[in-house]
Amino acid sequence: MPVAYSYARFSSDKQRDGDSLRRQRDLALQFIERNPELELDLDTTLNLTDEGLSAYKGVAQTKGALGAFIRLVEDRQIASGSYLLVEALDRLSRQTPRQAFNQLNTLVDSGIVVVTLTDNKIYTREILDNDHGMSLIFAIMLMARAHEESVTKGRRISAAWNNKFNKIKDGVQLTARVPFWINKEDRRKVIPAKVAIVKEIFKMGANGFGAMKIAQELNAKKLPTPTSKSTRWALSSVKKVLASEAVLGTLVTADGQRHEGYYPSVISERLWSKSRFTGQSSKTARGTASVHPLSGLMFCKNCKGTAQRSGKSGRVRRDGTKNNWKTLVCANSITHASGCDYRSISYDKILSSVIAGLSQMGDYSPQDDIGKKIYAKRERAEQLQDLIDMVTAPLDGKRVKPTATAKSNLAKMFSQLDVLRKEIEELVEIRRPMNQRLIEGGRKAILSGEISNALMRQTIKRCEIDFKKALLDIYSHDGSSIAGVMLKDDEERNRDEAKRAYTSVKRK
């Protein structure tokens, strides 16, 4: 019985709140009901929905559920002859016709039957090869139209924003979104209490305080944060204020233009230049290819807060080089938001420990009827193996030549063991759900040396670090876990504790 996979995608919040997702899912169910002769079994184990991902820029194909599905097809984890049901070809891709058709061709060449539900069009390797190119031409025409629609939409949006940018010169407010110290209704007015906080931040920066120390001081004084969503100042929030030109009254628009005098100036240029933090904000860093493999997965076991990556540098050598270290620390220990002490552990050590832990993860153990059969057969296989070991074991240190009967019985046991192992493999493959295949695929790629944040997230649910004991717990999406992975040996622990004790005495 072939399996049908229903893929749905939408790219905007408006579509999320509307009827798009329900409509796409209903179309898939209606196709299966209208075609009982296909005997399609709708898969419900693999989440094939991409919410808010663009098919024009190729995000859904690389980072989304569609990308995961394509990787499973390429790894032959999804059987040839399976159906992929989509509302239309533009749900799969809005890239150039060449890129879009390459993706469709990859799927059908792997034996996947692609069905577009709005026009009931079916694409297979055989159809594309044998209908004199009609399906091929039709598909490329649809792909070209979808791409052109996206290009046209992009131009219109760009033109609309350019029109807004041009009106800034006439004194028109661009959007209602303004810095937290500016009045939302009138950008020419400031909020005095919040301007005082901005000035405090820049004064501390001018006195040599780093962003981390400034956040600690603001939290100690219990000063209001930029938004009501957070009760404490974060490192990134301080960095954004120190790097912002809005404090000088300047608005920098997306087209790179600087509009001076757009806001009231609340900081002098001299103070801004002296205090400005030149590092990247967290938001900017996340938007680049420099996202580290464990980003968003690491947490403190004590307070459940985020484990944040930190950098340290050594002294500059005579040749101009210097050592650089990357570590993870409990983010709450930085701002004293919890009872956690500030302790850092090598990032490279944690990464290598996560990879080592993944290699030790236990096998998936299903608990349904097939799972019970697997358990019973494994138990029987273990009994047979024990019996074989007993028969073939030396007697009093001397190997005894088996009789003809013993040889015959031994051959039967080996044959039974081979049959059992094959049956177990077949049952495991039948029962293994699609999300487990996805997890296993990610784990396999990581262990083969392909390290990325996307693969880590595909495999790992979360990791918790006990910074005091230097221990790591890893939790997988399939419920398996490994606890107590050591991040430091006894010598490293003793050295760190001695250093900590020395620092404490020195401070006193």
Q: What is the pLDDT of residues 114-159, one digit of tens each?
A: 999 988 899 999 999 998 888 888 888 888 887 788 777 766 666 6
In a domain, 377, yes or no: yes
The two three-digit tokens of residue 140, written as one number:
């490329």
Of 388, 381, 369, 358, which is closest to residue 457 (Cα–Cα)?
Answer: 358
Can you tell me whether residue 450 is helix, strand or coil? Answer: coil
179 shares a domain with 139: no
Mind listing the pLDDT tens digit for each residue in 82-125? 999 999 888 888 888 888 888 899 899 999 999 999 888 999 99
Cα 241 to Cα 437: distance, rounded to the nearest angstrom = 45
Domain containing residue 134: CATH number:
3.40.50.1390
Supply the DSSP string of 328-382, one letter for each residue: EEEHHHHTT-SS-----EEHHHHHHHHHHHHHTPPPP---SHHHHHHHHHHHHHH
Supply the DSSP string of 193-259, one letter for each residue: HHHHHHHHHHHHHHTT--HHHHHHHHHHTTPPPSSTT-SS--HHHHHHHHH-SGGGT-EE-TTS-EE
In a domain, 211, yes or no: yes
Cα 271 to Cα 286: distance, rounded to the nearest angstrom = 29
41 shares a domain with 185: no
Cα 375 to Cα 381: distance, rounded to the nearest angstrom = 10
Q: Please, what is the end-to-end C-alpha distance for the chain in angstroms? A: 75
Decide which of 152, 182, 208 is a domain's last residue: 152
Per DSSP, helices labelled H in 257-330 are: 269-275, 282-286
Decide which of 410, 429, 448 is a domain's last residue: 429
Can you give the pLDDT at residue 147? 78
The pLDDT of residue 321 is above 70: no
In a domain, 166, yes or no: no
* DSSP-derived secondary structure letter, 110: T
The two three-digit tokens of residue 61, written as one number:
């194909």
What is the average pLDDT value for the chain, to the nearest integer?
78
Which residues have CB under 8 Å from 450's CB, separation 6+?
A: none
Of 349, 356, 300, which is closest to residue 327 (Cα–Cα)?
Answer: 349
144 shares a domain with 75: yes
The pLDDT of residue 474 is above 90: yes
One-letter amino acid identity for 267? I
Identify each DSSP E strand in 408-503 by its residue range: 460-466, 471-476, 481-486
192 pLDDT tier (thresholds 50, 70, 90): very high
377 shares a domain with 267: no
Is there a contact between 459 and 443 (Cβ–Cβ < 8 Å)? yes
Q: Which residue has the higher pLDDT, 268 or 257?
A: 268
423 shares a domain with 447: no
In a domain, 168, yes or no: no
In a domain, 159, yes or no: no
Which residues have CB under 8 Å from 415's CB, separation 6+?
A: none
Cα 76 to Cα 54: distance, rounded to the nearest angstrom = 26
100 shares a domain with 232: no
Can you give the pLDDT at residue 18? 47
214 shares a domain with 233: yes
Is there a contact between 150 and 119 (Cβ–Cβ < 8 Å)? no
Decide which of 288, 307, 323 is a domain's last residue: 288
Pairing of strands 49-51, 41-42: unpaired
In a domain, 332, yes or no: yes
334 shares a domain with 303: yes
Averaged pLDDT for residues 437-454: 82
296 shares a domain with 284: no
199 shares a domain with 348: no
Provide the sign of the torsion angle of the four alpha carbons 218, 222, 225, 229, taken in this order.
positive
Which residues have CB under 8 Å from 312's CB, separation 6+?
A: 324, 325, 326, 327, 344
Rg of the chain (C-alpha set): 31
- The domain tally of the chain equals 4
Cα 143 to Cα 148: distance, rounded to the nearest angstrom = 9
Mind listing the pLDDT tens digit for each residue in 200-245? 998 888 777 778 888 888 999 999 998 887 888 988 888 888 888 8
In a domain, 255, yes or no: yes
Can you give the pLDDT at residue 324? 67
Supply the DSSP string of 127-148, one letter for each residue: HHHHSTTHHHHHHHHHHHHHHH
Can you give the pLDDT at residue 2? 87
Question: Per mean pLDDT, which of 255-269, 359-373, 396-410 is the most reliable?
Answer: 255-269
* DSSP-derived secondary structure letter, 282: H
Q: Which residue has the higher pLDDT, 487 or 166?
A: 487
Long-range Cβ contacts of 129-132 (<8 Å, 24+ apart)? none
The pLDDT of residue 193 is above 90: yes
- pTM for the full predicted model: 0.38
Task: Give, in degrees to the nearest 5, the angle at Cα 46 between 481 and 4.
Answer: 150
Supply the DSSP string of 72-105, one letter for each residue: HHHTT-S-TT-EEEES-HHHH--S-HHHHHHHHH
416 shares a domain with 295: no
448 shares a domain with 301: yes
Cα 196 to Cα 216: distance, rounded to the nearest angstrom = 17
Can you give the pLDDT at residue 109? 92
In a domain, 55, yes or no: yes
Residue range of the domain that includes 20: 3-152
